[in-house]
Amino acid sequence: MKIDDVVKNAFAMPLTSPSYPPGPYRFVNREFLVITYRTDMEKLRRVVPEPLEIDEPLVKYEFIRMPDSTGFGDYTETGQVIPVRFNGVKGGYVHSMYLNDDAPIAGGREIWGFPKKLADPSLSVVKDTLIGTLDYTGVRVATGTMGYKHRALDLATVEKGLKEPNFMLKIIPHVDCTPRICELVRYYLTDLTIKGAWEGPGALQLHAHALAPVADLPVLEVKSAVHLLTDLTLGLGEVVHDYLAR
């Protein structure tokens, strides 16, 4: 293979058989269970990188079913998003993500810097309850529950919240394990269609695990539980801060 051919084809790993196709990535019938809870402010400050700012000690714990996603297929994901501000604009910092499909793990880490790890999450309805779980190495790490479709939410308000920017820390190591890339990346959800949105009583349990430390941001009080059904496009990212530029 010639040098020019390498450069032309090198958009993802492995070179001759990438784990995912180029974006954009469209999601149909993407379903969310989002439980917002109050946590310890000092512990929150230890994990949110500058220049992001925190107003309140809140965390959004998300369980997401994605049955139809371009290039990534059918999978389930869960993790923590922390409400933040960047240059005065509200958004969310993606702190942790656990999912059960190789393609979005590889694509999420390589393109945007999503903090994705392989695990076994689930989201399902059992009788009158929406239930989200996370198992890591056979150990139950998180359980979220919500009363199923108790009260409808205003769709315009929900859409406004989903259109806020999201941030993550993209880290790519050099061959000597020093950081080659260390950037704050911003992305948006676009082409949104909100098919349904509901709220209801919610509960969340997080359990300690050495390699899935979601419980390091403990649940002190559940503030809300929301259930969403959407179609959307995951927009490609942009670098808003380069930590190595100093």
Domain annotation covers residue 208: yes
Rounded Cα gap, residues 198 and 129, in angstroms: 13
List, run by run, the mean pLDDT of 10-residue segments along the chain (246 residues).
93 94 95 98 98 98 98 98 98 98 97 98 98 98 98 97 98 96 98 98 98 98 98 96 93
Q: How far is CA 189 from CA 22, 64, 82, in A?
A: 17, 14, 17
**Rounded to the nearest 5°, which phi and psi values hold at 174?**
-80, 175
Domain annotation covers residue 183: yes
Domain annotation covers residue 1: no
Domain annotation covers residue 11: no
Residue 226: both structure tokens together: 């929301």
List the catalytic residue out of 2, 8, 116, 170.
Answer: 116
Domain annotation covers residue 157: yes
Q: What pLDDT score does 214 carry?
A: 98
Residue 118: both structure tokens together: 């392989």
Q: What pLDDT score does 155 carry?
A: 97
Split into its structural domains, the chain has a count of 1
CB-CB contact of 36 with 59 (8 Å): yes
Q: What pLDDT score does 186 carry?
A: 98
58-69 and 202-206: which strand pairing? unpaired
Catalytic status, residue 116: yes
Domain annotation covers residue 2: no
Q: What pLDDT score does 229 carry?
A: 98
Domain of residue 86: give its range. Answer: 22-242
Q: What pLDDT score does 173 carry?
A: 97
Q: What pLDDT score does 221 carry?
A: 98
Domain annotation covers residue 221: yes
Domain annotation covers residue 156: yes
Non-local CB neighbours of 222 within 8 Å, separated by 6+ positions: 35, 36, 37, 202, 203, 204
Q: How far is CA 180 from CA 32, 52, 110, 173, in A?
A: 34, 21, 13, 5
**Rounded to the nearest 5°, which phi and psi values hold at 103?**
-60, -50
Q: What is the CATH number of the domain that holds 63?
A: 2.40.400.10
